[in-house]
């Protein structure tokens, strides 16, 4: 995809701390909103936090809630933003908040702090309840809402939040109730309206748990009923889960895990088996940190930690069989972060906005991005037939496959790309993608390596604004590369002194093989006879020495039989021989 860099633009419509894409690298389509069509846009707000714990998106009231994970008294509030990236308030907490969950009807926000679970009315922003927890713990809690109830984890701070034993609690009135489920290390919870009776639990790896589990709970009854459980390491301990985030698809049938050790795992929720079709790997060097499905089921956002221009965020169709190319973002500027924070992605219900929390390499600064993927996709097509340049393909020489791509809707600010595959007797070979010119024309370059029939298939997989085009194909016959023989012979010679003919053999395409010998025939008034073959040097030169047997015109014909990649060629010279 095409990289578009934005530097230093200030959004006049936002508050002083709200910036547009300063330092952001977005790949086609451009990260800007144009008046003539739906193009992806990105707004950035600097967050007043130095650590990050959780984000909750309330689509009903268009609010985004964020918590700081610092364990001190200065972090005693939940920060509240609107859908435009403006901070519109805060919810006071008695101690540092950590986990959050929203009720299914979006009426209540549950927030955990060290001494209990707070409940806030999402309309009035007033506190409406408090649940006493089993411990006044120093460790952060995860909070979930499923089965019409709030659930939370408890980790007493005895030997470490990531290594101590953790319990799962429910609530009864104003008190926590032990569910009986517990495990070593920190436990991450995920829930949501897409599966209102399901809690997903992921165990964080620790020294005592080298092979963490993933499991689900049915919260529809009075007690939690555990569903399938899965551990991912093989018999040699490879492939263990390292979960940074968990998300459930809009229909509740799939669970996606941002696994820092693997990438994006896509699982069937019914048994946690691998889905039949997986998402493509994240860019090389990117470690998964967050994942989120849009509420309308259209998109999935996959966040990661990557360096430089490697994309940190992919926004693509939620259907893994849809080959539409993703919208890619590489965060590499001092004004909008370097990577997606763990659990740093959330969507609005309608899929019109993606909220992404980014951080710097040190985890000391944070930003909130409001990304608006286009709501409409337009058609694309290849117009006319493909053609080649030159018109007759030759093995070992550059060949251009020329065509034209038409895109409906607004023209992209930067070129899109098409890709191609060559199929011949050796199988398939994927060619390097090429940019499409402003008028839609393109030329895919190749160097055929095999003589014979070849078929080129050109593809445009679409982007976030355009649907994929139907592939266009072209069959060609690849010929052998031609060769040329050049001779230098004297006009006259004597029978007694003999003669010398020199020459050069050249070939197009790949280099000629070594050890070539040329056939030499002599024709005079006594007839035609074959002479000793001539050896060709590494530079293509050769020499023919002969003592003519008669006087008069003598013709010498030199021939190259050709090889697997080169056609044969001949050349002749006539010499008048005197006594």
In angstroms, the CA 242 to CA 210 distance is 9
Q: How far is CA 278 from CA 9, 110, 228, 282, 539, in A?
A: 38, 34, 20, 12, 53
Summarize pLDDT for 527-546 with one digit per residue, the tens.
Answer: 999 999 999 999 999 999 99
Mean pLDDT of the chain: 88
Summarize pLDDT for 394-426 with one digit per residue, the tens.
Answer: 999 999 999 999 999 887 767 889 999 999 999
Residue 431 dihedral angles phi and psi, to the nearest 5°: -95, 160
pLDDT of residue 12: 24
Residue 75 DSSP SS3:
helix
In angstroms, the CA 559 to CA 571 distance is 7
Question: Could you identify the residue written with the tokens 């031609």?
Answer: 482
Summarize pLDDT for 104-138 with one digit per residue, the tens.
Answer: 999 999 999 888 999 999 999 999 999 988 877 67
The verdict on pTM exceeding 0.75 is no
Name which of 341, 289, 331 is nearest 310 in CA terms: 331
pLDDT of residue 467: 81
Instruction: Inform me whether the pLDDT recorded for 40 exceeds 90.
Output: no
pLDDT of residue 41: 61
Summarize pLDDT for 440-466 with one digit per residue, the tens.
Answer: 999 999 999 999 999 999 999 887 678
Q: What is the mean pLDDT of residues 55-64?
A: 97
pLDDT band at 71 (very low <50, low <70, confident <90, very high): low
Summarize pLDDT for 194-251 with one digit per residue, the tens.
Answer: 999 999 999 999 877 889 999 999 999 989 999 999 999 998 889 999 999 999 999 9
- Share of residues in the chain with pLDDT > 90 (%): 73
Summarize pLDDT for 140-169 with one digit per residue, the tens.
Answer: 889 999 999 999 999 887 667 778 889 999
Exposed (0-12), middle (13-18) or buried (19+): which is 503, by Cβ within 10 Å? buried
- Share of residues in the chain with pLDDT > 70 (%): 90
In the chain, the domains with their CATH numbers are: 380-478 (2.60.40.10), 483-578 (2.60.40.730)
Name which of 322, 222, 212, 192 is nearest 272 in CA terms: 212
Summarize pLDDT for 471-530 with one digit per residue, the tens.
Answer: 999 999 999 999 999 999 999 999 999 999 999 999 999 999 999 999 999 999 999 999
pLDDT of residue 509: 93
pLDDT band at 24 (very low <50, low <70, confident <90, very high): very low
pLDDT of residue 327: 84
In angstroms, the CA 249 to CA 143 distance is 19
């Amino acid at each position: 995809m095409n990289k578009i860099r934005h530097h230093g633009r200030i959004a006049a419509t936002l508050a002083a701390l709200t910036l547009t894409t300063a330092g952001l690298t977005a790949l086609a389509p451009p990260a800007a909103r144009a008046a003539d069509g739906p193009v992806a846009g990105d707004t950035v707000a600097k967050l007043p936090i130095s650590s990050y714990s959780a984000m909750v998106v309330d689509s009903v009231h268009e609010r985004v809630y964020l918590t700081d994970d610092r364990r001190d008294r200065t972090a005693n509030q939940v920060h509240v933003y609107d859908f435009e990236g403006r901070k519109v308030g805060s919810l006071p907490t008695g101690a540092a908040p950590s986990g959050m969950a929203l009720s299914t009807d979006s009426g209540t926000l549950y927030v955990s702090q060290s001494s209990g679970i707070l409940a806030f009315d999402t309309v009035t922003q007033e506190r409406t309840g408090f649940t006493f927890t089993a411990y006044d713990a120093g460790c952060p809690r995860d909070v979930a809402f499923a089965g019409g109830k709030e659930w939370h984890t408890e980790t007493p701070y005895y030997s470490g939040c990531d290594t101590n034993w953790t319990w799962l609690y429910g609530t009864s009135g104003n008190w926590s109730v032990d569910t009986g489920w517990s495990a070593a290390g920190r436990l991450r919870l995920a829930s949501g309206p897409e599966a209102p009776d399901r809690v997903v639990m992921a165990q964080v790896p620790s020294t005592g748990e080298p092979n963490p589990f993933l499991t689900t709970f049915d919260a529809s009854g009075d007690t939690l009923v555990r569903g399938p459980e899965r551990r991912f390491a093989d018999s040699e301990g490879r492939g263990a889960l390292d979960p940074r985030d968990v998300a459930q698809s809009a229909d509740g049938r799939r669970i996606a895990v941002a696994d820092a050790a693997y990438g994006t795992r896509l699982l069937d929720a019914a048994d946690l088996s691998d889905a039949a079709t997986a998402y493509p790997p994240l860019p090389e060097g990117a470690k998964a940190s967050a994942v989120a499905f849009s509420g309308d089921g259209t998109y999935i956002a996959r966040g990661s930690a990557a360096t430089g221009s490697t994309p940190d965020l992919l926004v693509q169709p939620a259907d893994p069989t849809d080959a539409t190319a993703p919208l890619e973002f590489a965060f590499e500027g001092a004004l909008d972060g370097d990577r997606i924070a763990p659990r740093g992605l959330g969507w609005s219900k309608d899929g019109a906005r993606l909220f992404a929390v980014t951080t710097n390499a040190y985890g000391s600064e944070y930003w909130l991005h409001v990304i608006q993927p286009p709501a409409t996709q337009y058609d694309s097509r290849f117009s006319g037939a493909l053609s080649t340049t030159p018109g007759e393909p030759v093995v070992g020489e550059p060949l251009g496959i020329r065509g034209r791509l038409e895109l409906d809707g607004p023209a992209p600010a930067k070129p899109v790309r098409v890709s191609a595959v060559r199929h011949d007797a050796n199988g398939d070979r994927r060619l390097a993608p090429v940019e499409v010119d402003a008028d839609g024309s393109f030329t895919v370059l190749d160097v055929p390596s095999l003589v014979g029939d070849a078929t080129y298939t050109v593809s445009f997989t679409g982007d976030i604004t355009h649907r994929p085009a139907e592939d266009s194909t072209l069959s060609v016959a690849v010929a052998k590369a031609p060769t040329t023989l050049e001779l230098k012979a004297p006009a006259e010679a004597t029978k007694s002194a003999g003669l010398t003919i020199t020459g050069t053999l050249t070939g197009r395409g790949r280099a000629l093989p070594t050890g070539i010998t040329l056939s030499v025939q002599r024709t005079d008034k006594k007839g035609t006879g074959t002479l000793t073959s001539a050896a060709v040097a590494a530079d293509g030169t050769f020499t023919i020495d002969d003592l003519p047997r008669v006087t008069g015109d003598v013709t010498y014909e030199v021939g190259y039989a050709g090889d697997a990649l080169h056609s044969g060629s001949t050349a002749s010279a006539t010499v008048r021989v005197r006594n």
